[in-house]
Amino acid sequence: MLRKILFWSHLAVGICVAIIVFVMSATGVVLTYEAQIKEWNDARHNVVALQGQQRITTDQVLAIARDKHPELNHIYIHQYNVNPNSVNQDNGEGRAIPIWVGMNRYLLHPYSGEVIQTGPGWVLEFLHVTAELHRWLALEGEWQLMGKVVTAYSNLLFIFLIVSGAYLWLPRKLSIKSIKLQLMFKRRYKSRHAKHFNWHHVFGFWALIPLFLIVTTATIFHFHWANALLYIANGEDAPGPREKRVSVGIADGERSYEQLFTAAKQHAVSSGVSDWHSMWIELGRVEGQTRFWIDPSLGNSYERAYELYLDNNTGDVASAKYTSDWSKGDQAWGVARFLHTGEYYGVVGQTIAGLASLAACFLVYSGLVLSWRRLIRPMLRTRKPLRHDNAGS
């Protein structure tokens, strides 16, 4: 009886959320190597320095940004490690310099300051649209909230599909032989139904654990109660809604921004992050200070990355925050966030997450085909009309 209830519930829920789960899974596949694609996109604009050329300073970059948007006072500058002695294989020589002035993005020539690209470009725009499709079906305006609700509850129901599917995967009569039949693809199939049945079981088994981690960690993005449970499990109260950051304006100090950048690089060395890959410089966030986010990875090594604030007048450290300074709840949130994308385990984790998302696409496809055969085809069948023999009438 339990198996029968779970089977029909699994089938009904699967049909209801199939399209949404497929969209989220397919976009998840596209976003598998999002960080690497963004890195490659900027690296396409690498240039070779002519003899005697020097990279433009942080102050020159800031001057270009201010010249383009004098009314805006919140600027990001993304600097790459150009230290030739860095143990980082990609030391950033010739890397273009991305800057954000408000919502406006530019890519600057590292030696002349010329604008190489205005706007995100088609690659970043494609990833942005894909991410919006993944999160709220790319709906806009008033419909965006509806999109968020649909993806949130579809994700929740996907958890039910994974758990119930794991139970239904177990053969009615447990034996090593029956289990082996559902672990690998068969070479030949008696029918298309048998093929899709085998696919559904094989993809379901091998993707079970990564899919469960991906889908359960996604709940912290959708539901406050999921966040609360995560923090409560670590002995903390869940934080309230994040306040929107308000820019305080850029107040130049006695130190040049290039001097502050140099001080930040020295601080990274003394903090054991001499192999930093890139450094985000944020101006306009805290009055009289410049914020640095020093990262030894492509944005996924939050355990070694850290936040640094330097005083614009003295260049002294106003504050520095490492992962060890985070609360246990915040650290757990960071782990869950990168488990969702697989980035917590680096490229290997990303690859597993991407393959699991691809497997979810096949699970939806094979599940719908099996559902069609179970429910729809019987309803479409019509009885053959009775033949009346009029010969003797």
Sheet holding 317-321, edge to edge: 115-118, 104-108, 97-101, 75-80, 278-283, 289-295, 306-311, 317-321
Place of tokens 């985000």: 280
Give the residue from 85, 363, 321, 32 showing the smallest Cα distance to 208.
363
**CA–CA dist 257, 351 (Å, integer):** 39
Structure tokens, 86: 């860095």
pTM, two decimal places:
0.89
Q: What is the pLDDT of residues 207-254, one digit of tens each?
A: 999 999 999 999 999 999 999 999 999 999 988 777 777 788 888 999
Q: What is the pLDDT of residues 297-343, one digit of tens each?
A: 887 777 889 999 999 999 999 999 999 999 999 999 999 999 999 99
Q: Which pLDDT band holds residue 90 (cuts at 50, 70, 90)?
A: low
The residues, any chain, with a CB within 8 Å of residue 82's CB and separated by 6 or more, are 55, 91, 92, 93, 95
* Paired residues of 101 in beta bridges: 75, 104
Decide: 368 and 376 in contact? Cβ < 8 Å. no
Would you give the distance in Å from CA 60 to the centre of its chain?
Answer: 33
Let me know if 229 is exposed, middle or buried by CB neighbors in 10 A (0-12, 13-18, 19+): middle
Q: What is the pLDDT of residues 203-220, one digit of tens each?
A: 999 999 999 999 999 999
Decide: 161 and 212 in contact? Cβ < 8 Å. no
Q: What is the pLDDT of residues 350-376, one digit of tens each?
A: 999 999 999 999 999 999 999 988 877
Decide: 282 and 308 in contact? Cβ < 8 Å. no
Count of other CB atoms within 10 angstroms of residue 281: 22
Domain ranges of the chain: 2-33+125-236+343-378, 48-110+244-326
DSSP state of 372: I
**CA–CA dist 37, 43 (Å, integer):** 10
The vertex-5 CA angle with 4 and 8, nearest 5°, equals: 85
**CA–CA dist 282, 336 (Å, integer):** 26
Give the residue from 7, 372, 25 showing the smallest Cα distance to 203.
25
**CA–CA dist 375, 381 (Å, integer):** 11
